[in-house]
Structure 1
Amino acid sequence: MHYLLKKALIPAVALAAIAGSGLSHADAPNSLGWLEEGVIMPEDVTVKFKLDSGALTSSMHAQHIERFEKDGEDWVRFQVELEDIKTEQTVASTFERPLERNLKVRGAGGSEERPVVKMEVCVGEEVLNQEFSLRDRSNMHYPVLLGRRTLDELGMVDTSRTFTTKPACSASQA
């Protein structure tokens, strides 16, 4: 068979076999949309999470970020004030977490260093203890962004879908 014909035919046959199987990306197990409801634990605040494969590290809205030392270790104190989409009430919580690392973020406006802490969140039935960079996201549409490191734990993301699951984690899982 002519080399160019073979080169074009093999991918076409493979694509036809997949299409004919009735399976789609949306049917994949653990397929989530690019927007999902999630819970910040243990405070049980439900907010919109953006699942963003363009970001490596997850990010969470935080204000009044203060670095301090506790028992010889670097810690971060910060406030999270968000509207709970279930109750439509504004919930404000102050967190203290050990500093995991500092993240240098470069953008069009220059660069900044952000603290990174571990936080527990719930997506679907999964409780995840992940690293989040902290930054004031009050001018953003979504207070929580899940990056690729977290998405590796969750599974497939179907960018054509939104809100495919409801958070279903119990307080005992936190």
Structure 2
Amino acid sequence: MKIIFCLFLVFNLYAKDIIGSIDKLDFPAFNLENVESRIDTGATNSSLHCTNIEKIDDKFVKCNILGKESFTNKISKIKEVKSSNGISQKRYFIKTQIIILGKTYVSELSLNDRRNMTYAFLLGRDILSQDFIVDVSKKDLSFNLKESIKN
């Protein structure tokens, strides 16, 4: 019995959740649900669409998240980030909660104007490396799980 329990623990320690290439994720701190998200193993950092990004002081940044009301957040770091087109820009990062596959994760996100991008949120390796394997043939696994629990 002890051997079976030990095997169970080992398998669970190394178990990873499967996520598709596209999903709808929730951001409870901003009261946002079903945010269209691209799961991108090529992106180092995760990035959330914001406009009117304005540093208030050394500790806080204010912005409109997904074109909605203005939010003020504590800056977790400021970093030069190179975008997919090769251009570097200074970005503000905040820590916030993201709900993926029914689990809540706290992660750092860069704030970036993504209005010309297809997806409002880019989920990068900073979060993916924690618990996920990406299956590019799948989509909306987190959203579908949430909907099945509701019904």
Q: Same fold (TM over 0.5)?
A: yes
- How many residue pairs get aligned? The number is 129
- SS in structure 2 of the partner of residue 31 of structure 1: strand
- Percent of residue pairs identical: 26
In structure 2, distance between residues paired with 1:153 and 1:29: 8
- SS in structure 1 of the partner of residue 69 of structure 2: strand
Per the normalisation by structure 2, the TM-score is 0.77
Cα 1:64–1:30 change in 2 (3 A) is same
Where does the alignment leave 5 or more consecutive residues of structure 2 unmatched?
A: 1-14, 147-151
**Higher Cα Rg, which structure:** 1
Matched, 1:54 2:39: no
Partner of 1:80: 65
In structure 1, distance between residues paired with 2:33 and 2:16: 26
Alpha carbons 2:25, 2:142 under 8 Å: kept: no
Q: 1:164 aligns with which of 124, 141, 146?
A: 141
Q: 1:94 aligns with which of 63, 67, 70?
A: 70
Q: Deviation per CA, 1:2-37, whole angstroms, max 9, x where unpaired?
A: xxxxxxxxxxxxxxxxxxxxxxxxxx8521101111
In structure 2, distance between residues paired with 1:158 and 1:124: 14
Partner of 1:36: 23
List structure 1 segments (4+ residues) > 6 angstroms apart after TM superposition: none
Letter in 1 for 2:34: T
Where does the alignment leave 5 or more consecutive residues of structure 1 unmatched?
A: 1-27, 83-91, 169-174
Partner of 2:55: 67
